[in-house]
Amino acid sequence: MFESLSEEPFRFPYYLLAWSVTVALMGFVIFPWAMLAYKIWHGNKPIDEDLRDELLQRSWFFGWALAGAAVVFVMLDYVIVDDDWLGLPAGPMHVVFYLAFLALAGWWMMYFFSLEDFFQGLTLAVIYLYLPTALLLITWGHRWNLLFTYILTWLKDPKPT
């Protein structure tokens, strides 16, 4: 049971990166989810009236910007990991790109929603990215999502070390 975990330590970040990119690419369509994520993060406190009026516009800008960044991250990962280009090891590079993508999402949440610090943005980014991931895993499973399986074709499978 534990032998498979030690053989493939980079499988989990590989799937985390793929799911993060999948939800971010769906931001082209589900950008209102950022509004709901903000309301979940904000809690029962009343939202400032000016921010409430701009919330849909801010979520639209964030959804499109993060989707564009997701495309860039997948292309960079493909170029850096591909044997014909740089040929760096897939597992560690997936970890680096996952952490960089999550940090960028947190920073952009902080910027687009005028939050006070990075960790508020990171919390909001985690809500934005991983509640839909949990719903997609529960409803469709990881092999039935066509966008997810397409993204997995672009990410090189990490080999056991």
CA angle 120, 110, 91 (to 5 degrees): 80
Q: Give the model confidence (pLDDT) of 39-82 as tens digits.
A: 888 888 888 777 778 888 989 999 999 999 999 999 999 889 87
Residue 34 inside a domain? The answer is: yes
Token pair listed for 150 = 């397409």
Residue 1 inside a domain? The answer is: no
DSSP string, 18-60: HHHHHHHHGGGT-THHHHHHHHHHHTTSPPPHHHHHHHHHHHH
Token pair listed for 56 = 């849909």
Give the residue with greater pLDDT, 34 vs 85.
Answer: 34
Residue 18 inside a domain? The answer is: yes
Nearest alpha carbon to residue 95 among 6, 42, 20: 20
User: How buried is residue 38: exposed, middle or buried, by Cβ count under 10 Å (0-12/13-18/19+)?
Assistant: buried
Res 110: pLDDT? 93
Band the pLDDT of 143: cuts 50, 70, 90. Answer: low
Residue 4 inside a domain? The answer is: no
Residue 103 inside a domain? The answer is: yes
Domain count across the chain: 1
Nearest alpha carbon to residue 110 among 94, 92, 125: 125
The structure's pTM equals 0.81
Residue 161 inside a domain? The answer is: no
Residue 19 inside a domain? The answer is: yes
Per-residue pLDDT for 160 more than 70?
Answer: no
User: How buried is residue 102: exposed, middle or buried, by Cβ count under 10 Å (0-12/13-18/19+)?
Assistant: middle
Q: Give the model confidence (pLDDT) of 87-141 as tens digits.
A: 788 888 888 999 999 999 999 999 999 889 999 999 999 999 888 878 777 766 5
Q: Which residue segment(s) compose the domain that 104 sits in?
A: 12-154
Residue 159 inside a domain? The answer is: no
> Distance between CA 120 and CA 143 in Å, rounded?
32
> Distance between CA 39 and CA 50 in Å, rounded?
15
